[in-house]
Amino acid sequence: MKTPTPLPVEQIPETLPRTQAHARPDSSSDVLVVGAGPTGLACAIEAQKAGFKALIVDKGCLVNSIYHYPNNMVFFTTPELLEIGDIPFTTSLPKPTRLEALEYYRRVAEHYHLHIRQYEWVKTITGGDGKFRVTTTDRHSAIHDYGARKIVVATGYYDLANQIGIPGEDLDKVFHYYREPHPYYDADVVVIGGKNSAAEAALDLWRHGARVTLVHRGPQMHHHVKYWVRPDIENRIKAGEIVARFNSTVQEIGADFVVLRTPSGPQRLKNDFVFALTGYHPDYDFLRSVGIELSDEQMRPVCDPENLESNIPGIYVAGVIVAGSRTNEIFIENGRFHGKLIAAHLSEKLGGGNPNFPLDAT
Ligand SMILES: Cc1cc2nc3c(=O)[nH]c(=O)nc-3n(C[C@H](O)[C@H](O)[C@H](O)COP(=O)(O)OP(=O)(O)OC[C@H]3O[C@@H](n4cnc5c(N)ncnc54)[C@H](O)[C@@H]3O)c2cc1C
C-alpha cells in the first residue's frame, strides 16, 4: 500500500513562498505541538515526561480559546476534571471561572517549563515521518521554520464560527463571539441560538440593560443548557423580560432592523446588534492541507483510535478536532487524556526519549 504523505507544498492553500523560508530551521524538537489549548499542553507535558523534547506553537496566547470565552464565563466542569499533568486545580466555588482556568494553565506551563511560541501561526507542515518541517508566521509577518520528528495537531474549533448565510451577516453590528454586556446597554439586541452560549449571553445582556430578543430554530432551549442556567433563562422568558422567538429564524439583517421568519409569519424588528451564537467548527482546510483525511459525514480526521496517529505517519490529532463536526463529544474533560495515548505511541516508535533532554532544549 502506498504511504500517504502531506500535500506537495505548491498545492497547499495560502501557503508561504518557500523561498522566504529559512534554509535552516530555527529549532528542532522531537515533537512539535500545534495549539496551546488544554490538549496541546497535555500532549507536550506527557511527551516531556516520556523524555522527548517538545515545542508548542500557538497563533494566539496560551489557552487562546479560553482567553476568548465570555469574560465572566463559569465552566460546567468541576476543576479536577480540567486538570492536566497531574497538577491539582482547586477553586473556591464548585465550578471554575474563566479567570481561574487562565491562572491554572499558566501555572501548569510554568511548572513544566513548557517551550511555547505564542503568536505564531502554523501555515505549513511538510516533509515526512521523522523529518517534518513546520513554517509559521508571527505578528510582524516574519517567517519561522521548525524541524520536528513528530507532529501533534491540537488546533481546537473556536476560531471558526458557523455562518448562517443570510444577507447582512457581514455587517459590523453582527458578532459570533460574546465578551461582555456593557456596550449594549439600552440597545435592541438579537441573540441567535438555543444552547449555552446564547442562553448565557441573553441573560447577561438583559441583566445589564439591553432589550433582548432570543431567536432559536428549535421549539425550546436546548437540553444541553447548563442545569443552573436553564431555569434562569426559562423564567426570564416566561416573565417576558427576554423575548423568545422559538421555531423561528433570522432571514435578513439590516443596518437598524432584522427580519425574522416565525410560525405566525415574517416579523421585522428594530435592531442595534446581533449575536449569532450558532457554534464553531475546526479548521478543516488546515487539516486537509497537512494531508489529513476527513470522514465524509462528520469530518472526523482519519486516525487510529488507540494512539491518535492520523493517516499521515508521524502526524497525530488530539483534542476536540478528533470529533470533527461533533464538537460536543470531546471537550477538556476527555481530550486531556489524548496526551498520554500519544506519548505512549511516541515511546514505542522512537524507542524512548532523547537522553540529552532537557540539556539541548532550545
Ligand atoms: C464558552 C465555552 C465554554 C466551555 N466550557 C467547557 C467546560 O466547562 N468543560 C469542558 O470540558 N469544556 C468546555 N468547553 C469546550 C472546551 O473549551 C474545548 O473543547 C477545549 O478548549 C478544546 O481543547 P483543545 O485543546 O482541543 O482546543 P483549544 O482549546 O481550542 O486550543 C486550540 C489552540 O490551537 C490554536 N491554533 C489553531 N490553529 C492554529 C494554527 N494553525 N497555528 C497555531 N495555533 C493554532 C488556537 O489558537 C488554540 O489556542 C467550552 C467551550 C466554550 C466555547
209 Cα–ligand 1 center, Å:
30
| Whole-number pLDDT of residue 156 | 97
Nearest protein CA to atom 14 of ligand 1, as residue: 331
Residue type, 260: L
Q: How far is the CA of 269 from the centre of ligand 1 (A)?
A: 34
Nearest CA to 25 out of 136, 161, 188, 119 is that of 136
Pocket test for ligand 1, best of 73, 158, 278 (most atoms within 8 A of CB): 158
Atom of ligand 1 nearest to the CA of 40: 25
* Minimum CA distance residue for ligand 1 atom 19: 331
pLDDT for residue 90: 97
Task: Tell me which of 16, 58, 125 to substitute to probe ligand 1's pocket, judged by most ligand atoms within 8 Å of the beta carbon.
Answer: 58
Residue nearest to atom 27 of ligand 1 (CA): 156
Q: How far is the CA of 19 from the centre of ligand 1 (A)?
A: 33
Q: How many angstroms is it from 75 CA to the middle of ligand 1?
A: 13
Tens of pLDDT, residues 45-100: 999 999 999 999 999 999 999 999 999 999 999 999 999 999 999 999 999 999 99
Which atom of ligand 1 is nearest to 122's Cα?
Answer: 42
Residue 148 near residue 56, CB atoms below 8 Å: no
**How many Å lie between the centroid of ligand 1 and the Cα of residue 202?**
22
Q: What is the mean predicted confidence (pLDDT) over 286-303?
A: 96
Cβ contacts of residue 227 below 8 Å, gap of 6+? none
Cis peptide leading into residue 79 (ω within 30°): no
Residues in contact with ligand 1 by the CB-under-6-Å rule are: 34-40, 57-60, 64-65, 69, 73, 75-77, 121-122, 154-156, 158-159, 197, 283, 286, 319-320, 331-333, 335
Q: What is the DSSP string of 83-135?
A: --TT-----SSSS-BHHHHHHHHHHHHHHTT--EETTEEEEEEEEETTEEEEE
Residues 24-35 as b or e (16 or more Cβ within 10 Å = b): ebbbbbbbbbbb
Q: How far is the CA of 240 from the centre of ligand 1 (A)?
A: 35
User: Which residue's CA lies nearest to atom 3 of ligand 1?
Assistant: 75
Pick the atom of ligand 1 nearest to 196's CA: 1
Polymer length in residues for the chain: 362
Are 270 and 211 in contact by the 8 Å Cβ rule? The answer is no
Query: What does each C-alpha distance from 44 to 80, 155, 302 come to in angstroms?
Result: 20, 14, 22
Question: What pLDDT, on a 0 to 100 scale, did the predictor assign at position 5?
Answer: 53
Q: Note the pLDDT tens digit of each residue in 160-194.
A: 999 999 999 999 999 999 999 999 999 999 999 99
Q: How far is the CA of 197 from the centre of ligand 1 (A)?
A: 14
2 to 183, 190, 294, 304, 337: CA distances (angstroms):
57, 53, 18, 17, 31
- Measured CA to CA, the distance from residue 217 to residue 248 in angstroms comes to 5
Averaged pLDDT, 34-50:
98
pLDDT range class, residue 26, cuts 50, 70, 90 = confident
Cell numbers found for residue 238: 416566561
Averaged confidence pLDDT in the chain: 92
Amino acid at 179: R
Residue 99 alpha carbon to ligand 1 centre in Å: 15
The predicted model gives 274-302 an average pLDDT of 96
